[in-house]
């Protein structure tokens, strides 16, 4: 099921990734949607490429994407796109950024693709078919002790003004885990949980395009994804707690303590 959609997601992510890699070597304009929330002409250019590819093959599907208003076709099929996850990194020449594309049918994400052009890595997943990195199947880590875990997180763009800023959770985890990283791309953080580089991840105030493709990868790699309370995960809820499954309970308890 959804093989054609998976192939399209992979191809579109590859084309957008190549475009972005070229743009990263040029001078490009950077604007701001908020005080510290950037958008570049590279974001919008990559988004146009992806939307064009989808419209040619599936003209009646919905498209939900970061930089363009929701393109609804009253369809049960939806593409969820982040044309450049990690725009701040991209605009500073820091190589941790990616293209993320997911396909959702009847409210369930069925496949996803993430392309990291600088690092030459391609993550993909189809529901029930496993998760892969550069064509090789991946699995979550086997770590069971939080004090031996490498975790990842991020901070919302309203961190300068909101008291609900993730710092209290960061303080708790930095005292309990082996280490915590903040690379700057939620999609890649989750993909790294899927392939065992990170043992767990949590973040708040996320959007569907930040999580859709990569959360499926975590699940297909044998991990677990919930909200902070350990309840059912939804890409339309702003909380994400992901892990190898073995440390999920202690991570949840750390957040709720």
Q: What is the pLDDT of residue 53?
A: 97
Q: How many CB atoms lie within 10 A of CB 101?
A: 32
Whether the predicted pLDDT of 246 surpasses 80: yes
d(CA 186, CA 201): 9
In this predicted structure, the answer to whether residue 157 has a pLDDT above a threshold of 80 is no
Phi, psi for 255 (deg, rounded to 5): -65, -40
Q: Judge contact between 176 and 145, C-beta under 8 A.
A: no
Rounded to two decimals, the pTM is 0.93
pLDDT at residue 67 greater than cutoff 80: no
Other C-beta atoms closer than 10 Å to the C-beta of 38 total: 17
DSSP E strand boundaries for 33-177: 38-40, 62-65, 77-85, 98-105, 108-116, 121-126, 130-133, 136-137, 150-153
Residue 69: pLDDT band with limits 50, 70, 90: low
Sign of the four-CA dihedral 118, 119, 122, 125: negative
**What are the pLDDT digits (tens) for 137-155?**
999 999 999 999 999 999 9
Q: Do the Cβ atoms of 162 and 127 come closer than 8 Å?
A: no
pLDDT mean over 161-185: 94
Nearest Cα residue to 217 out of 52, 6, 55, 14: 6
Torsion angle, CA of 65/103/118/195, rounded to 10 degrees? 130
**Per-residue pLDDT at 68:** 72
Alpha carbon distance 222, 230 (integer Å): 16
Average pLDDT over residues 200-216: 97
**Quick one: CATH architecture of 146-256?**
3-Layer(aba) Sandwich (3.40)
Based on its alpha-carbon atoms, the radius of gyration of the chain, rounded to whole angstroms, reads 17
Q: Check pLDDT > 70 for residue 219.
A: yes
Q: Where are the domains of the chain?
A: 3-137, 146-256
Count CB-CB contacts under 10 A for residue 160.
Answer: 11
Sequence-ordered list of residues with C-beta below 8 angstroms from that of 163, at least 6 positions apart, any chain: none
3-137 CATH fold: Fructose-1,6-Bisphosphatase; Chain A, domain 1 (3.30.540)
pLDDT at 34 over 70: no
Q: Which of 103, 31, 93 is nearest to 67 (CA)?
A: 31
Residue 238 and residue 206 in contact, taking contact as beta carbons nearer than 8 Å: yes
Which tokens go with 32? Answer: 């701001």
Tell me, yes or no, if the two domains 3-137 and 146-256 fold the same way. no
Distance between CA atoms of residues 86 and 20, nearest Å: 12
User: Cα–Cα distances in Å, from 3 out to 7, 9, 231?
Assistant: 6, 10, 30
> What three-state secondary structure class fits 23?
helix
pLDDT(70) > 70: no
């Amino acid at each position: 099921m959804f093989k054609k959609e998976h192939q399209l997601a992979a191809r579109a992510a590859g084309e957008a990734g190549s475009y972005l890699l070229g743009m990263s070597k040029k001078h490009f304009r950077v604007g701001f949607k908020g005080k510290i929330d950037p958008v570049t002409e590279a974001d919008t250019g990559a988004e146009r490429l992806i939307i064009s590819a989808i419209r040619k093959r599936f003209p009646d599907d919905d498209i939900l994407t970061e930089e363009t208003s929701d393109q609804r076709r009253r369809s049960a099929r939806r593409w969820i796109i982040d044309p450049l996850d990690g725009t701040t990194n991209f605009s500073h020449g820091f190589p941790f950024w990616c293209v993320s594309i997911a396909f959702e049918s009847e409210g369930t994400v069925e496949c996803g693709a993430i392309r990291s052009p600088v690092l030459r890595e391609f993550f993909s997943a189809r529901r029930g078919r496993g998760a892969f990195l550069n064509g090789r199947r991946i699995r979550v880590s086997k770590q069971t002790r939080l004090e031996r875990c490498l975790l990842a997180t991020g901070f919302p763009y309203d961190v300068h003004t909101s008291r609900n800023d993730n710092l209290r959770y960061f303080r708790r985890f930095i005292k309990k885990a082996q280490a915590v990283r903040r690379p700057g791309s939620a999609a890649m953080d989750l993909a790294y949980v899927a392939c065992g580089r990170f043992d767990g991840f949590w973040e708040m105030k996320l959007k569907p395009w930040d999580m859709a493709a990569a959360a499926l990868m975590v699940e297909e790699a044998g991990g677990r994804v919930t909200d902070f309370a350990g309840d059912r995960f939804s890409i339309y809820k702003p909380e994400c707690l992901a892990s190898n499954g073995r440390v999920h309970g202690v991570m949840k308890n750390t957040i709720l303590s």
